[in-house]
Structure 1
């Protein structure tokens, strides 16, 4: 998400219900496990969805459906004015949504689609996307911020892991280079969107912002799908049940349940704990890819992935962002 949730003793969930502060550790860890597993599993969900669904069409459908469901809940709970924003807020949310979802998520979906040998494995995609916190640090530096020494050390370590992951060894690469660069481009777009979201005027309610972000992202993804000719290839009857179920899982588990759990955690748990999703998600994605679809885990993947995760962990623990920084939607 993109704006800062209110710091009240009681806060509202997306259904408009009052949530008391001070929950027990069991509830906090339940929500954290949801974010760990569900967001980590979405990379595999994307791979399965694009087996028989056109990639950008699948992404557009996912975010449009999730936005419709969330908008309906907000409207029913908050009344006619629940989704009201001004033009500037709408434009800001739309810009962030395009960068995060059309650029960030859309490029990852494209990278995971394609015939064997050209598609990026879901676990590798998650590892590459884990560089987002590192890219955000670089953006901060360019705009005059001065991150700490250990933050830069984490960035350097993370990008060393990226090099180890994609540089060819023994005449072959750990991942298809074109696909890896596509994921990195998506990570850059996601990072720019995340960076801008805290510096432009967004809707005050983070859930309302999410609705407009997802709608804008879905609209641009749909236009790109038309330009790529995906709609001509889209025949619902030819889509496998497996792909439809994966798409439904992405919408419900990734875009609604895990996101809601993340927003709740930002209100009830230390941000340094919540931010650990940035380096747990890749581990979950790699494990699920290996267990469920037999994605290979080579020594190069383990080494590069471990270095990336270590770099991100160092950045997260060094930075310790202030409590209340809101999330970005879509997560995969």
Structure 2
């Protein structure tokens, strides 16, 4: 069977969104074992923003930005990347990567609840089923005594939930905010501002910095993968898919990413897979399915933006 160029692009884009995004949990988990979290995230986003700015310049995109757009990019960068990702990476010092990916799968549920509370939007019946299953799955997941008993696990879970709130707040904000029209340029400004915020946070928390030449090979590879594949390839592929296939098909990443993360964490890091975690995963992902299969609006499409 001979595929057309567009078909190959779609296959590659889905691979990036499914596998690369799902793999970011493993790469972050591996890197944070050696590097302090805010320092790690600042290096990742400063490198990614520099590459994206360079690509934008080569492609002839205008880098001009208004003062209001710059402020909005800084705020979005803080919500998505500086806090949403930086603190999430910090939590991976204690929380297993697969477990964290299942908690992150609650993002569509939290967005719906925030839209209901803040914007007074009515929930469709599929949304209500999805929210119910998601809440039950969340309880089953976090109520495991052997997991909760691990040192730092409770605080790690709580911090992940604050990251989810930051991500979802950023999604709702970006849906209405005045930003540069080119998403590539917008991403570059958000990542650059987040990198600066994370550098300040790293200094304030007294994190120890070390030259990349002194990092372990595993850490160097992880950061390269996070920068090139997680921050650039996957996000670009996500935006390409939104313009070329239905949002429902793009949203299937919500089901695939946790599966990829769990399998990689089990294979490479020896993370345990319990029956209760499996049941929780089934409930959570079924809830996400109901949420994503409801009748969608333009705001929902924009709110699917995922900072990884």
> What TM-score do you get using the length of structure 1 for normalisation?
0.85
- Residue by residue over 1:71-94, the C-alpha shift from the partner in whole angstroms, topping out at 9 and shown as x without a partner, is 011112216xx1111111111111
The reply to whether residue 248 of structure 1 matches residue 224 of structure 2 is: yes
Count of equivalent residues: 303
Contact 1:62 1:250 (8 Å CA) reproduced: yes
> Which deviations, in whole Å up to 9, do the C-alpha atoms of 1:237-263 show, x marking residues without a partner?
542111011011100000111111111
Answer yes or no: is the 8 Å Cα contact 2:24–2:226 preserved in 1: yes
Q: Relative to structure 1, is the Cα distance of residues 257 and 327 closer, same or farther in structure 2, using a 3 angstrom cutoff?
A: farther
Matched residues in 1 for 2:146 and 2:48: separation? 44
Structure 1 residue 326: Cα displacement: 4.4
Structure number with higher helix proportion: 2
Alpha-carbon distance change, 76 to 235 in structure 1, aligned in 2, over 3 angstroms: closer
Partner of 1:14: none
Moved more, 288-297 or 314-323: 314-323
Matched, 1:157 2:133: yes
Structure 1 counterpart of 2:99, from 121, 124, 135: 124
Aligned counterpart, 2:252: 276
Q: Is the 8 A contact 1:56 1:222 kept in 2?
A: yes
The CA distance in 1 between the partners of 2:147 and 2:78, in whole Å, is 38
Residue in 2 that maps onto 1:68: 50
SS at match of 1:318: coil
Partners of 1:289 and 1:295 within 8 A in 2: yes
| 1:314 Cα offset (Å) | 0.9
Residues 107 and 182, structure 1, Cα contact 8 Å, conserved in 2: yes
Q: What is the TM-score of this pair, normalised by structure 2?
A: 0.92
1:266 aligns to what SS in structure 2?
helix
**1:321 Cα deviation after fit:** 4.3
Q: Which moved more, 1:162-171 or 1:53-62?
A: 162-171
Larger displacement relative to structure 2 (157-166 or 141-150): 141-150
CA contact (8 A) 1:271 1:321 kept: no
Residue ranges of structure 1 left out of the alignment (5+ in a row): 1-21, 114-118
Matched, 1:89 2:69: yes
Name the residue aligned to 1:16.
Answer: none
1:227–1:66 distance in 2 versus 1, CA, 3 Å: same
Say if 2:266 is the partner of 1:290. yes
Equivalent residue for 1:112? 92
Matched with 2:205 is 228
Give 1:325 shift.
3.5
Which residue among 294, 298, 303 is the counterpart of 1:318? Answer: 294
- Conserved 8 A contact 1:151-1:319: no
Q: CA deviation at 1:236?
A: 4.4
Which whole-Å CA distance do the structure 2 matches of 1:201 and 1:40 have between them?
30
Mapped pair 1:178 → 2:158: no
Q: Which has the larger displacement, 194-203 or 57-66?
A: 194-203
Pairs within 5 Å for 1:21-100: 24-78=6-60, 82-100=62-80
Question: 1:87-137 deviations in whole A, cap 9, x for unaligned?
Answer: 111111111110000111112100112xxxxx1011111110111111110
Give, in whole Å, the separation in 2 of the partners of 1:208 and 1:328. 19
- Is 128-137 or 235-244 further displaced after alignment? 235-244
SS at match of 1:145: coil
Shift of 1:274: 0.5
Q: CA deviation at 1:211?
A: 0.8
After the TM superposition, which of the residue ranges 203-212 and 41-50 deviates more from structure 2? 203-212
Q: What RMSD, in angstroms, separates the aligned Cα atoms of the two structures?
A: 2.2
Unaligned runs of 5+ residues in structure 2 are none
